[in-house]
Amino acid sequence: MKIVIRAGGAGTRLWPISRRNNPKQFQAIINDKTLVRNTVDRAKPLLGKSNDLFISVNRRMEKKLKKEIPELMDKNIIIEPAARNTSPAICLESCILARRFGEEAIVASLPSDDYISNKTAFHSMLHAAEKFLKKNSEYIITPGAKPVYPDTGYSYIKMGGKMAGAGREKIFQVAGWIEKPDVTRCEKLIRSGKYFCHTGMYIWKLKTILDLFRELQPKVYGVCKKIAAGRGGKNYANLEKITIETAITKKAPRIGVIVSEKIGWSDLGKWHVLAEIIGRDKRGNVVEGQTIALDTKNCLIYGPKDKLIATVGLDNMVVVLTEDALLVCPKERSGEVKKIVEELEKRKFKKFI
């Protein structure tokens, strides 16, 4: 199995800690390692050879990546010429790997900012997906996670008929997708037991995903194929910004979801998710930095060690302080932080982005 870690995101959902020139994947948020370092370390046991690991990153972050992951060979760094979202990025990585290894190679394409509590279960799940694809190469497999609380920021996958698995990992046909439902519908999905959170991870044979690009996104495929051959990089910036789900996977005729009972997955893209992972005090608060929290409960308070954050009477709030910005919002609305970055761009407040 070849592995590509996608580290090209701008990290806007964890503003103001995450910035354009220092996105969240290059920061140590949940422990003393950066998110991309955690992801690389988690992936290494799955590799047959050291050159089976690739990282996709935008050009602006290339030097930062080399410093953070010095063992990665230059030829295994995939440079995105511009930020065009996951569809062009995945097409580019697939074209590059196909040119090097051929289209029969099986590849896992993984986000760089996931939290996974059980590495052994994660490895077992990806091995199970690889085993399935060796016999059913026409399928795309995407891991799903059992939802434990309603989150309106996720896509949800409906479980269809079981295709494989009898132990901890099971593979089901994808019977449908629901994109970011409201709270009431989220609660119904969870109660039904038929839906999983989409993790954004994919495992596929390169021929399968490239055939879909050739059919559904021929312009994207044509540009990425040229870039993989060493020419045509300027045209990449003109491609539409579109997710892999919108462009390809929601239209794929054969797609399965693999689920594990043990991996403990979370998307580290929202402040309220971090509040579920980092340890809480006896009042339910998650605190990083110097804080005086009076009559304050169920809050996430995050700041630098040389500044004091004081709160009175807060409940279920997010408070994040940096050197030049302050975020205050209800915890249940922390998934909307990206809107602040969009507003900063409209107002041309570049120094805060």
Question: pTM value?
Answer: 0.92
Domain boundary among 236, 253, 270: 270
204 plus 104 within the same structural domain: yes
How many CB atoms neighbour CB 293 within 10 A?
A: 19
For residue 202, what is the domain's CATH number? 3.90.550.10
266 plus 281 within the same structural domain: no
Judge whether residue 90 has pLDDT over 90.
Answer: yes
Q: Per-residue pLDDT tens for 255-305?
A: 999 999 889 998 888 888 888 888 789 999 999 999 999 999 999 999 999
Q: Is 343 a domain residue?
A: no
296 plus 186 within the same structural domain: no
Dihedral (CA of 283, 285, 291, 296) sign = negative
215 plus 91 within the same structural domain: yes
Domain boundary among 228, 247, 270: 270
Q: Is 347 a domain residue?
A: no
Judge whether residue 233 has pLDDT over 80.
Answer: no
> pLDDT-based confidence at 41, cuts 50/70/90?
very high
38 plus 97 within the same structural domain: yes
**314-318 — which CB contacts under 8 Å span 24+ positions?**
318/271, 318/272, 318/275
Mean pLDDT of the region 69-74: 96
Query: What's the number of domains the chain is made of?
Result: 2
Peptide bond into 16 cis (omega under 30): yes
107 touches 204 (CB < 8 A): yes
> pLDDT-based confidence at 166, cuts 50/70/90?
low
36 touches 18 (CB < 8 A): no
Q: Is 11 a domain residue?
A: yes
d(CA 252, CA 216): 9
d(CA 204, CA 132): 10
> pLDDT-based confidence at 156, cuts 50/70/90?
very high
> Worst-scoring range by mean pLDDT, 56-65, 159-168, 269-278, 308-317?
269-278
132 plus 225 within the same structural domain: yes
189 plus 309 within the same structural domain: no
If you ran DSSP here, which 8-state letter would residue 250 be given? T
The domain containing residue 306 runs over which residues?
A: 272-336
283 plus 260 within the same structural domain: no
266 plus 163 within the same structural domain: yes
pLDDT at 69: 97
303 touches 243 (CB < 8 A): no
The one-letter amino acid at 351: K
Q: Is 351 a domain residue?
A: no
d(CA 286, CA 297): 9
Mean pLDDT of the chain: 93
Cα dihedral 32/335/252/168 (nearest 10): 50
d(CA 288, CA 300): 8
The one-letter amino acid at 332: E
pLDDT at 153: 79
More confident of the two residues 75 and 274: 75
Q: Is 54 a domain residue?
A: yes
Q: Is 341 a domain residue?
A: no
d(CA 232, CA 270): 36
**52-55 — which CB contacts under 8 Å span 24+ positions?**
52/1, 52/2, 52/3, 53/2, 53/3, 53/5, 54/2, 54/3, 54/4, 54/5, 54/78, 54/93, 54/96, 54/97, 55/4, 55/5, 55/7, 55/112
Q: Is 352 a domain residue?
A: no
Judge whether residue 11 has pLDDT over 80.
Answer: no
- Please report, rounded to a whole number, the percentage of residues in the chain having pLDDT higher than 90: 80
131 plus 60 within the same structural domain: yes
Q: In angstroms, how far is the first alpha carbon of the chain from the final one? A: 37
Mean pLDDT of the region 129-141: 97
pLDDT at 149: 82
Judge whether residue 57 has pLDDT over 70.
Answer: yes
232 plus 289 within the same structural domain: no
58 plus 177 within the same structural domain: yes
Helical spans, DSSP H, in the chain = 35-43, 62-68, 86-101, 119-135, 183-192, 206-216, 218-228, 244, 271-277, 338-346
Q: Is 345 a domain residue?
A: no
d(CA 78, CA 103): 17
